Structure 1
Amino acid sequence: MMMAMLGVFISVALILGTANAASLGSVYTEGGMVQGKSHSVGLFRYMDVFKGIPFAATPGRLEKPVPHPGWDGVLKATDYSKRCMQLNLLATDVVGSEDCLYLNIWIPQGNTVKVNWYLNDNLSMSCSIGNYGLWDQHTAIAWVHRNIRNFGGNPDNITIFGESAGGASVNFQILSPKNNGLIRRAISQSGVALCPWAVNRNPRQYAEEIARKVGCPTDSGMVACLRMTDPKAVTLAGNVKFSTSASDPIVHNLALSPVIDGDFLPAEPDTLFGNAADIDYIAGVNDMDGHIFATLDIPSINNALVSTPVEEVRALSVALSESRGLDAGIATYEEYTVNWGSNPSDSDIKKTVVDIETDYIFLVPTQTALYLHSDHAKSGRTYSYLFSEPSRIPVFPLWMGADHADDLQYVFGKPFTTPLGYFPRHRDVAKYMISYWTNFAQTGDPNNGESSVPVTWPEFASNGHQYLDINNNINRDSVKQMLRTRLVYYWTTVFASFPGVQKN
């Protein structure tokens, strides 16, 4: 379940160099010829689809990807490959395969080339080596850069975008010097490299914990033993601990994250934004992104019949502030309850819990990333958004906004493909997001391209750090500025001024 919540989805969009008048047929790649299928998508419109093109060899366990040896003849690229090995939604079994490094390519003729891959592999598994998921992603991006021209794409106009752990992965990719010159634009949705769950600060301890679970030593023979162990057993051993306690929030138990390895990530992410100086960047969050975590930590959040005790808000504030000590925890609690008054309503208390988790886990790190990108930018442009279309889950409270991952259904046009499940206003949201996203991929400016937009989305640094509030009623009042500035200032300045506490 947790890996699904932070699943890695990355998509690559490229702009066609030329519009083809007929199906591509067989296409040459560095590994050999590939043949996809042509699909009709409307009157005089069709799409070439290539599924399961290998961009690297079957990966060795806990090893970086290596080039694919290639194939003879023509590879029939007509079926999806298996996803990378991962826990199922209930975290009770393992699905997928170690043989999973494949790309899917969609080519709407005369339009945008879209390359998708889904990676949900373990991003760090030992103390001194790791980041294999990030290396896999980098290898896919490099393959696209080398080969996509043969599919009609422009290798100098690559856009990557992802959500949650995918959004953080996108941020890591543009920060890494390994991708220098490969990426032109990027979009991070509800996840950046600065999120508290994005970097594993104690990978040795976590690797040893997995090793003990599968019967491996924790000395110099640990990595060799893990490489020989049943991969399903290792994957299951990496399962996170679920918590429903305000004093032990789930965000502190997300350990499958990248590491500062001195290689792919040569230093702390906040010092690497100079590598993205010429990359156009969109980053944003959902207005209640933290709700999904809040309901695990304090289950009464979604139960209108059960009040949320003030003591749980205090306990959560202290727990999320543990890196800076008890005084910082008290300060966090006071910062978020300053407007409560003497008798806050239960809905105010519940919304405060969601605000705390949204800010700490997603919003403040994303705002920090936007400031850093804008400050270091040369030719790169910076855009900020807040997605606020209310959740469509009927059992959620009436005050509920956009939960984590609520934006994905609109970006990928779900209201159009399953129209009976949505209202017209939902199709408006999808139309707006698709227009902004595709314009950005085409030109680096979400306002300019083949699609019209309801209002001009200004750059982040213009006139007071502006952002676009995205929902079904976008108008000129949707352009706002200084997103939750008081809370961003608290976490980045006041909270950060408290002395750090070393964990035992």
Structure 2
Amino acid sequence: MIWPVYKSGQNSLQCHTCSHYLMMMVMLGVFISVALVLGTANAASLGSVYTEGGMVQGKSRSVGLFRHVDVFKGIPFAAQPGRLAKPVPHPGWDGVLKAYEYANRCMQLNILGKEVLGSEDCLYLNIWVPHGSSVSTNLPVMVFIYGGGFLMGGGMGANFLNNYLYDGQEIADRGNVIVVTFNYRVGALGFLSTGDADAPGNYGLWDQHAAIAWVHRNIRAFGGNPANITLFGESAGGASVNFQILSPKNKGLVRRAISQSGVALCPWAINRNPRQSAEKIAKKVGCPTDSKMVACLKMTDPKIVTLAGNVELSTSASDPIVHKLDLSPVIDGDFVPGEPDTLFQNAADIDYIAGVNDMDGHLFATVDIPSINNALVSTPVADVRALSNSLSDARGQDAGAATYQEYTVNWGSNPSDQDIKKTIVEIETDYIFLVPTQTALYLHTDHAKSARTYSYLFTEPSRMPIFPLWMGADHAEDLQFVFGKPFETPLGYFPRHRDVSKYMIAYWSNFAQTGDPNKGESSVPVAWPEFAGTGHKYLDIHNSMNKNSVKQMLRTRKVYYWTTVFASYPSVQKS
């Protein structure tokens, strides 16, 4: 637009044109302001929603012009559970439940293992529902299961300045999916088992199942499609996702699943001697270890029982922390009817993504060998040998020597301190996460009927400034990107981090919509091929993805070593 210029003696039309244009601009500004106000005031929203327990009312958040997310927090999906018992249905409520605040976490130890947090009344869930100019219907549903070693965690996640890690808003809005998070019992109250009918265990898994079943029964009222539910979870949550699709109890409830850094085959995911763990807790709290043990534990203060289930953090290369995580699921003949590797036929029609972070074992290696992160302190070769022996102890000393040889074969005669430290991280990453995950992918593909299988490796370098320069992605570092934190708190991240987050939300939500991470409402940087077929392809996820991000045969030699060579050594009976 060229502004007309008024000159003395000319017809006043030109100046009138100025005034007319100014008036148009003012009216346009008013129109935009009114539209913004109306977009907020009259935004699409569910209002009160009818569920099987009664009416619930959430809050509506504006996330952009004519884009809102309805948020419901603290909806009960089961009653307060009995001690060491399966969850039971909630009796319901009168009136309208104001679902505005997160409920208590389930009873658990704090991060230091010294204090007890949370409540036994904890089986609640949270829902995020995105809307455009009209109320959403028939949306895909993504149900998240948190990690924490089966010892801690909550459906809201860690909190910093009221910014909760597992806030589902960014995934819901950017992926156009409903997001659900929930609490489940952890620690002694969630996983203590006597290995028999007295206390069969797996209460936390039953809680997860109860939440999934509640979502299946009720999510249509929130605009969700109960026939299109995707589970996703990280660490113990990733293993839980795997348990849920392997269990016959969820038949018909789950369409797809994503396991991040954890599967049911991980060495920490099954407790093979639950009676011993239960007796150790009973002795700590002064209960007998005979037939009266469970009755005594049920009458003991739950905080004392929870505290007795703490993990001893005095670890070393010869006594690694992975061997101390014994409050975990058990093969109960019910929810987990057999060895996990024999149950993959139950997931034959469930699409599956599984992957790990390239240095997932770093967190565990740091606990076992603190010098890993200290550039001023060398890590002795003896620590590599001790770690190899301790992780191989189920197969004996010869297996330990073979593990050491496998991981040091390329060292040469004089390995650098960096070589030694990286090797320790590699051993723990492979043993604790990567090899079990690859094994699960092979099993899922082998048993698949209609199901598709996808593999990934997350390699975005750690943002922790105290870590060595050679660090890749540590355990749990993928979560901030999946939950869109670089968008929610932009000042804490660089543009490249928003790229990673955009990619992950796109792949994850497309997969939830269609079963194919490449097809859906979101564009992706490169096509992610299926795992099945030649090469067993996987996607390398980081901030600068292109066609070279599609790779194949992820650490095949190490997978072969652990699943074939190592497994060929005879098992050693422990006293």
Q: TM-score if structure 2 supplies the norm length?
A: 0.83
Instruction: Answer with 1 or 2: which has the greater Rg.
Output: 2
Listed one character per residue, the Cα deviations across residues 222-248 of structure 1 (whole Å, up to 9, x for unaligned) are: 111111111110000000111331111
Cross-structure match for 1:171: 242
One of 60, 67, 78 as aligned partner of 2:89? 67
One of 118, 128, 138 as aligned partner of 1:106? 128
Listed one character per residue, the Cα deviations across residues 79-132 of structure 1 (whole Å, up to 9, x for unaligned) are: 211111111111110101100001111111143211111335234212121100
Structure 2: stretches of 5+ with no match in the other structure = 1-41, 137-175
Question: 1:124 & 1:73 partners in 2: Cα distance?
Answer: 35
One of 51, 56, 65 as aligned partner of 1:43? 65
Question: 1:244 & 1:394 partners in 2: Cα distance?
Answer: 25
Q: 1:353 to 1:120 in 2, by over 3 A?
A: farther
How far the C-alpha of 1:466 sits from its partner, in A, is 0.4
Question: 1:392 & 1:50 partners in 2: Cα distance?
Answer: 32
Question: 1:118 & 1:452 partners in 2: Cα distance?
Answer: 32
Secondary structure in 1 matching 2:419? helix
Matched, 1:469 2:540: yes
Secondary structure in 2 matching 1:158? strand
Cross-structure match for 1:295: 366
Secondary structure in 1 matching 2:545? coil
Question: 2:100 & 2:238 partners in 1: Cα distance?
Answer: 28
Cross-structure match for 2:571: 500
Question: 1:465 & 1:300 partners in 2: Cα distance?
Answer: 36
Question: 1:338 & 1:134 partners in 2: Cα distance?
Answer: 41
Matched, 1:125 2:168: no
Cross-structure match for 1:486: 557
> Which structure's relative contact order is higher, taking Cα pairs within 8 Å and 6+ residues apart?
1
Matched, 1:191 2:262: yes
Cross-structure match for 1:266: 337
Question: 1:361 & 1:112 partners in 2: Cα distance?
Answer: 32
Cross-structure match for 2:226: 155
1:41 maps to a residue whose letter is V
1:115 maps to a residue whose letter is V
How far the C-alpha of 1:21 sits from its partner, in A, is 7.0
Where do 1:338-349 residues align within 5 Å? 338-349=409-420
Listed one character per residue, the Cα deviations across residues 185-228 of structure 1 (whole Å, up to 9, x for unaligned) are: 00000000000000001000000000010111111111111111
Matched, 1:207 2:296: no
Question: 1:459 & 1:181 partners in 2: Cα distance?
Answer: 23
Structure 1: stretches of 5+ with no match in the other structure = 1-19
Question: 1:417 & 1:35 partners in 2: Cα distance?
Answer: 24
2:520 maps to a residue whose letter is G
Secondary structure in 1 matching 2:191? coil
2:348 maps to a residue whose letter is A
Secondary structure in 1 matching 2:354? strand
Say whether the 8 Å CA contact 1:163–1:191 is kept in structure 2: yes
Question: 1:114 & 1:302 partners in 2: Cα distance?
Answer: 36
4+ residue runs over 4 A deviation: none
Where do 1:211-290 residues align within 5 Å? 211-290=282-361
How far the C-alpha of 1:295 sits from its partner, in A, is 1.0
Question: 1:31 & 1:80 partners in 2: Cα distance?
Answer: 18
Q: CA RMSD in A?
A: 1.1
Cross-structure match for 2:521: 450
Cross-structure match for 1:94: 116
Question: 2:426 & 2:565 partners in 1: Cα distance?
Answer: 18
How far the C-alpha of 1:479 sits from its partner, in A, is 0.3
Q: 1:21 to 1:444 in 2, by over 3 A?
A: farther
How far the C-alpha of 1:55 sits from its partner, in A, is 0.5
2:350 maps to a residue whose letter is I
Identity of aligned residues (%): 81
Say whether the 8 Å CA contact 1:107–1:113 is kept in structure 2: yes
Say whether the 8 Å CA contact 1:34–1:76 is kept in structure 2: yes
Aligned length: 485
Question: 1:354 & 1:342 partners in 2: Cα distance?
Answer: 20
Say whether the 8 Å CA contact 2:185–2:203 is kept in structure 1: no
1:96 maps to a residue whose letter is G
Question: 1:21 & 1:273 partners in 2: Cα distance?
Answer: 45
Listed one character per residue, the Cα deviations across residues 160-195 of structure 1 (whole Å, up to 9, x for unaligned) are: 100000000000000000000000000000000000
Question: 2:527 & 2:358 partners in 1: Cα distance?
Answer: 21
Say whether the 8 Å CA contact 2:122–2:183 is kept in structure 1: no
